[in-house]
Homo-oligomer: A and B are copies of this chain.
Amino acid sequence: MKEPWQLTAAEAAAKLQDGALTAEALTRSCLERCAEREAVVKAFTFLDPGLAIRNARRVDKAYAKGVLHGLPLGVKDMIDTADMPTTHNSPLYESLVQGRDAACVGVARGEGAVVFGKTDTVEFAAAGRRALTRNPHDTTRTPGGSSSGSAAAVADGMVPIAFGTQTGGSTIRPASFCGVYAMKPTHGVVNSEGAKRYSHTLDTIGWYGRSPADLHLVARAFRLFGMEAAPATKPVRGLRIALCRGPHWDIAAPESQESLLTAGKRLEVAGAVVEDLTLPASFDTISRAHHIVLYGEGRGAFLQEYLTAPGLLHQDFHDRVLNKEGITAQDMVWAYDHAAACRRLFDALFPGYDAVLAPAAPGEAPVGRQDTGNAIFNSMWTLLHVPCIGIPCIKGPNGLPVGVQVVGPRMGDAALLGVAAAVSPVVDAG
């Protein structure tokens, strides 16, 4: 008999909906798991058991049950919560309590989620200070970043679902390092208001779960385009999968390469049509365009903090504001237009394929807390605005998880969730 904290979000949701489990009982079980593990994993920046239980009881009293009814939710600590402080892992905001929830938190609460606690993050989900969080699979290693605490908390059973954000690779990469599922939806379909801005072109709210069905629940809460009509899953046989090494294959560690090729082989064995995909030459400079947009928009993103409290702002952000990279107006326009052109090229691959299969991370999670891993296998997809779903696949040489990701066309989130549901039992068979 499983403890409630061991249930996936989808498993727990079924019991919560039919009354076999209460929000309070699940929350208490998660709190017990935290009591056991948090001193080691350090996933949370704020966790008040009394408040989490009060939030659960409010949900248990609701007149109607939403899509996320009763599910404890971890919220990355650069996303505003009306009842909990939001520090952004910055000394500048140590005691900040906002008057209202971020839009994504409000939607989750509106759909019955139990706002459980705030999860540690890289400073402003960008640079500077790292989270204290440790990888639950090996506590000498990073869980990845910047959504460090959210990925680790879900991986370790502390919460069934959690919000992250992705501007480079901050949602999908930690999922690979921690061996959990994650979704970065199409840019802009989930309102990112109330999450700290880094780059308006790139910032995307994402979420973690321990099964593709968990991701599907959260996507339903956000009413992504086509969620009502799309099948929750489809047969693997006949799926057309484009195996895409991408422009940075040479810097993927052997276990990352093995993960992608293994996923491809497993799918082929299961009857999918797997074809090698070489992206057009213009994608060779897509990561450069991402870098320009990131640093160019980062100039304005931290100007407020730079002007009002420079002494409490990490040097990384001074460098952004002072444009140490020397990004020009012309660079910005080139990057925007190049991204727009590549988006059209990428979308044109569909419906020829059901999904693109690509590396999710450079390899296993690095040792230590400072290096949260290279975002290069994610940033191009973030700039392309396309939906990505991270799926665990193999174990690396040190026994740590290494995932892959499936990628769809813009606004193709609902169909991609169906593909993820189909391929996950095959790909995540390690």
Chain A residues packing against B (C-beta within 8 Å): 66, 93, 96-101, 103, 106-107, 109-111, 188-193, 196-197, 200-201, 222-223, 225-226, 297, 299-301, 303-308, 321, 328-330, 332-333, 336-337, 340-341, 343-344, 347, 409-412
Contacts and interface: CB of A to CB of B under 8 A. Distances in A.
Nearest to A98: B99
A18 to B, nearest CB: 22
Given A223-B299, A411-B332, A191 B340 contact: no
A250 to B, nearest CB: 31
A33 B356 CA distance: 63
Contacts of A303: 103, 107, 110, 191, 222-223
Contact of A197 (B98, B103, B109): B103
20 contacts: A66-B307, A96-B99, A98-B99, A101-B304, A103-B197, A103-B303, A109-B308, A110-B304, A188-B200, A190-B300, A191-B200, A192-B200, A193-B196, A193-B197, A225-B332, A330-B411, A332-B410, A332-B411, A337-B344, A340-B340
Given A191-B303, A201-B188, A329 B223 contact: no
A427 to B, nearest CB: 26
Nearest to A337: B344
Nearest to A196: B193
How many monomers of this chain does the complex have? 2
A359 B299 CA distance: 32
Nearest to A303: B107
Given A188-B300, A329-B411, 9 more contacts: A96-B100, A103-B301, A106-B304, A106-B307, A110-B303, A110-B307, A110-B308, A188-B297, A191-B303
Closest 7 CB pairs of A and B: A110-B307, A106-B304, A340-B340, A329-B411, A193-B197, A225-B329, A110-B308
Interface centre among A107, A192, A222 (most CB of B within 10 A): A107
A341 B340 CA distance: 8
A333 B304 contact: no
Contacts of A66: 307
Contacts of A225: 328-329, 332
A96 to B, nearest CB: 5
Contacts of A109: 307-308
B100 A93 contact: yes
A196 to B, nearest CB: 7
Contacts of A412: 329
Given A307-B106, A347-B333, A300 B96 contact: no
B99 A191 contact: no
B308 A106 contact: yes
A336 B191 contact: no
Given A193-B197, A297-B188, A337 B340 contact: yes
Nearest to A92: B100
A387 to B, nearest CB: 11
A219 to B, nearest CB: 12
A98 B111 CA distance: 23
A264 to B, nearest CB: 28
A330 B414 CA distance: 13
A412 B192 CA distance: 28
Contact of A329 (B99, B226, B321, B344): B226
B103 A100 contact: no
A332 B66 CA distance: 27
Nearest to A330: B411
A307 B411 contact: no
A171 B225 CA distance: 31
A99 B96 CA distance: 6
